[in-house]
Structure 1
Amino acid sequence: MLGTPTLCPKINITSDSFIQIFVSVVGVIGSLGYYPQAWRIFKNKSAHDVSLSTYAIFAFVTTTWLLYGFYENSWVIISSFALGVAGSWLVTILTLYYRRQKGL
């Protein structure tokens, strides 16, 4: 073989690098999904319709994956889950806070 195949020879991005970058970007975009829910809770000062158990599970899972990313020293996993950890915990904490404020 003549070398590693590249998608763009001028900047030398290998297919593995492209996949890692793509997966990282998709992970970050997916992690942004927690923030509209957090904003809605904050704006309405209510978490009445939020499933606390669902977001607690999300918080546990994203935190576990982030820790695993650090263990494996994988920037793909770390970058994909860092925002998700913050977002899932934010929704969980806001839900607990506003439910206590309302006495639920």
Structure 2
Amino acid sequence: MNTLNLLGFAAGACTTAAFIPQVWQVWTTRSAKDISLGMYLVFVTGVMLWLVYGLFTKELPLIIANAITLALAGAVLAMKLYFERK
């Protein structure tokens, strides 16, 4: 593994881990009223596009980080939509 890939993995770990507190907060409070639906729709779309880009370029740091971020941000988006219907 080269230095550039290590940098990519470190960056991906930081940006991905940043979503864990948000997912936990929304899950434990069962509230996402202060979460911007528009922001999460655009963000999830962007992350999905980065994941596709990573798959096409075969860049493992992009693939792993964006797959996990997509799952976490997607979970927040899904909870936002679910909790607002209640």
Indicate yes or no: 2:31 matched with 1:75. no
Unaligned runs of 5+ in 2: none
**Partner amino acid for 2:23?**
A
**Partner amino acid for 1:45?**
R
Indicate yes or no: 2:34 matched with 1:49. yes
TM-score when normalising by structure 2: 0.90
Question: Is the Cα contact below 8 Å between 1:28 and 1:83 reproduced in 2?
Answer: no
**Partner amino acid for 1:57?**
V
Indicate yes or no: 2:81 matched with 1:93. no
Q: Tell me the distance in 2 between the aligned counterparts of 1:25 and 1:32.
A: 11
Q: Tell me the distance in 1 between the aligned counterparts of 2:55 and 2:82.
A: 30
Unaligned runs of 5+ in 1: 1-12
TM-score when normalising by structure 1: 0.76
Deviates more, 1:22-31 or 1:53-62: 22-31
Matches within 5 A, 1:30-49: 30-49=15-34
* Counterpart position of 1:29: 14
In the alignment of these two chains, the number of paired residues is 86
Identity of aligned residues (%): 26
Matching residue within 65, 77, 96 for 2:50: 65
Q: Which has the larger radius of gyration?
A: 1
* Counterpart position of 2:4: 19
Please report how far the alpha carbon of residue 83 of structure 1 lies from its aligned counterpart in structure 2 after TM superposition: 1.3
Which segments of structure 1 move beyond 2 Å, counting only runs of 4 or more? none
Which has the higher relative contact order, 1 or 2, with Cα contacts under 8 A spaced 6 or more apart?
A: 2
1:57-86 per-residue CA deviation (whole Å, 9 max, x = no partner) reads 111011110011111111121122121111
